[in-house]
Structure 1
């Protein structure tokens, strides 16, 4: 199981998150109302938080303690989410992919080994 999957698993109850972050339940619900976190809901409608949610709450707490208002906090997180979305949606062009494959092959030849992907991709492109 990858680290990212583990960090997004909803494992922590409200009381545990309150202890970890030193925030009140009301503060945590307020940040949820402002869409800074989106905790998972159980069948009984209880909030369950991930490690990522705790990190966000701690970051919000730190920013607010510096005297920044809530509107600015929301702007900071919106910009951060926008950057992450752009990075996730960036597609590699065919020419960029070919160049990456050529560089991997050059490095493999220098080390006198076969590229990890060479066998998998050779059936698609004979000129790799």
Structure 2
């Protein structure tokens, strides 16, 4: 799967939350090149830290950090933990992300990542 980088409909990737998801959630290797492109990380082996804004269709915005290391990229910060808590995330849950790399008139230079969550928040973040 890592040998075939791709996004669903050129926009989406999903991940399944593992046991340690509140502290460290790895971006799948097949989506990693596209996430790094969106964050303007030129070399996937660069050790870098980027701020992203995770937005939900319910109007919530979470400022989060994405960390890039030599062999993986992941979410991990207090805001990520807050999103997990506010949305009632659980182990084995599948979360869909829309990184919005559009062509044509749509901008692709912002650092917004839409989080496709149909659940109403448990409590306001």
For the superposition of Structure 1 and Structure 2, which TM-score range results when normalised by the shorter chain?
under 0.3
**More helix, by proportion:** 1
